[in-house]
Chain A
Amino acid sequence: DQQVKQNSPSLSVQEGRISILNCDYTNSMFDYFLWYKKYPAEGPTFLISISSIKDKNEDGRFTVFLNKSAKHLSLHIVPSQPGDSAVYFCAASFLNSGNTPLVFGKGTRLSVIA
């Protein structure tokens, strides 16, 4: 049972435009969400996170939006750059439950076309 779902396996965007990556989750107890970026032949790297007490978190070109009622979050990248081409993983966790493993989605491959 996939608790974290990224329903779009891939996405292509023109350079300079907005990239929107979506993620849905089923467990309403999740209260902390993260996005990771993965380049080929490298491990995933942390990008941005948001706790359930917020509905938006921004870091430079990257913004994550959380809609708790819809159990949905999205990552916006503006403007998109060719170096953003990577696989993006959404992950969820329980903030106050100690060392609990992150639950990851299957990832979305973003291609930014110059």
Chain B
Amino acid sequence: DSGVTQTPKHLITATGQRVTLRCSPRSGDLSVYWYQQSLDQGLQFLIQYYNGEERAKGNILERFSAQQFPDLHSELNLSSLELGDSALYFCASSARTAANYGYTFGSGTRLTVV
């Protein structure tokens, strides 16, 4: 158990639908990062939150949004889902300076859009 909890582990939904992925960071970590891993792709950075505020944005589609709550858990909302959104979505958390400590990843949510 890495200390980062992601739910659900698997999700199957239809095109056009909306889903919410949840992440609880490791105790004490203030930063939460969301990454997408599609087939044959590396880990693509989506968005980062630090202590409730958006800190950095990557290649996140406008149909996707995220937030970090006061208890530091984070949710990634994916709407108007398309087949190409099928991927593994990872959440990671880190202490204050990511580079010094690296990330701790959750085990991911596998999203299948049919």
Contact = CB atoms under 8 A, between A and B. Distances in A.
Interface-central residue, B43, B58, B92, B105, by most chain A CB under 10 Å: B43
A105 B42 contact: yes
B49 to A, nearest CB: 9
B4 interface: yes
Interface stretch (A14-22, A61-69, A93-101): A93-101
B98 A89 contact: no
A101 B40 contact: no
Contacts of A93: 98-99
Nearest to B41: A106
B107 A99 contact: no
Contacts of A89: 42-43
Nearest to A34: B102
B102 A95 contact: no
A12 to B, nearest CB: 19
A29 interface: no
Nearest to B88: A43
9 contacts: A2-B42, A43-B90, A43-B105, A43-B107, A43-B108, A49-B102, A99-B50, A99-B94, A102-B102
